[in-house]
């Protein structure tokens, strides 16, 4: 049940200890065909390397990670990256919104998105941006939560199978 699943922050030390689980969530998304920067054939090692690359930002506070946890198992992630530009102290990017395929369509995506928006407000970041494949599950999620599409770029990214796909770009003031 989604209600028994907790949404909480993960610090860098715990994220490092749980790289295998985080990697498994990312690999599950790519294997399911989600366009989240990687191509089919993505390995567990590559997935863990991606998350390892996020750790220093989390440790220094320029990046924040939220997870969905069922019992002692991670089942979802979302990352808030604070814009580093001195003239954009109010902006942040949302990324790696991932729910294990076994746990989708139970409201976890909505909960993670609400939580990351609340976290952004706490961080003083009131303008959020993200992008996703046009027509994807993420696209529907963001539209349903009041995100505003400000453009679509045809052929912006390859699908996991290497086919050019359109990306929709969104912002939200929170
Ligand atoms: C996008 C993603 C995070 C959404 O996660 P999720 O947990 O399935 O999201 P939710 O359950 O909150 O909502 C998804 C759908 O389930 C529906 N839903 C929510 N609770 C439900 C329930 N109890 N019963 C039936 N349907 C339900 C929602 O209405 C929504 O429907 P829609 O897609 O037709 O609009 C997930 O699909 C995912 O990880 N996709 C792969 C990675 C990806 O593409 N991420 C976005 C990249 S930016």
- Per-residue pLDDT tens over the stretch 1-12: 546 999 999 999
pTM exceeds cut of 0.75: yes
- Is the dihedral angle over the CA atoms 118, 119, 120, 124 positive or is it negative? positive
pLDDT digit string, tens, across residues 124-168:
999 999 999 999 999 999 999 999 999 999 999 999 999 999 999
What's the gap in Å between 125 CA and the centre of ligand 1?
Answer: 25
Q: Which atom of ligand 1 is closest in space to residue 94's alpha carbon?
A: 48
pLDDT of 147 = 98
Quick check: CB of 77 below 6 Å from ligand 1? no
Quick check: CB of 168 below 6 Å from ligand 1? no
pLDDT of 67 = 98
pLDDT of 59 = 98
Per the CB < 8 A criterion, the answer to whether 44 and 36 are in contact is no
pLDDT digit string, tens, across residues 48-107:
999 999 999 999 999 999 999 999 999 999 999 999 999 999 999 999 999 999 999 999
CATH class of 2-128: alpha beta
Residue ranges of domains in the chain: 2-128
β-partners of residue 130 are 170
Quick check: CB of 141 below 6 Å from ligand 1? yes
Q: Closest Cα to atom 1, ligand 1: which residue?
A: 138
What's the gap in Å between 89 CA and the centre of ligand 1?
Answer: 30
What Rg do the C-alpha atoms of the chain give, in angstroms? 15
pLDDT of 166 = 98
Rounded to an integer, the average pLDDT of 10-36 is 97
């Amino acid at each position: 049940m989604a209600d028994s699943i907790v949404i909480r922050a993960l610090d860098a030390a715990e994220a490092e200890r749980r790289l295998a689980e985080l990697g498994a969530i990312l690999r599950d998304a790519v294997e399911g065909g989600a366009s989240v920067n990687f191509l089919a054939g993505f390995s567990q090692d590559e997935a863990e390397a991606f998350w390892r690359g996020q750790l220093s930002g989390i440790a220094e506070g320029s990046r924040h990670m939220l997870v969905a946890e069922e019992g002692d198992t991670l089942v979802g992630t979302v990352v808030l990256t604070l814009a580093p530009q001195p003239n954009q102290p109010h902006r942040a990017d949302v990324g790696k919104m991932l729910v294990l395929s076994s746990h989708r369509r139970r409201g976890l995506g909505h909960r993670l998105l609400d939580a990351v928006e609340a976290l952004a407000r706490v961080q003083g970041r009131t303008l959020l941006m993200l992008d996703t494949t046009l027509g994807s599950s993420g696209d529907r999620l963001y539209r349903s939560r009041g995100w505003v599409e400000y453009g679509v770029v045809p052929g912006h990214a390859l699908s996991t199978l290497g086919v050019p796909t359109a990306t929709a770009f969104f912002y939200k003031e929170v």
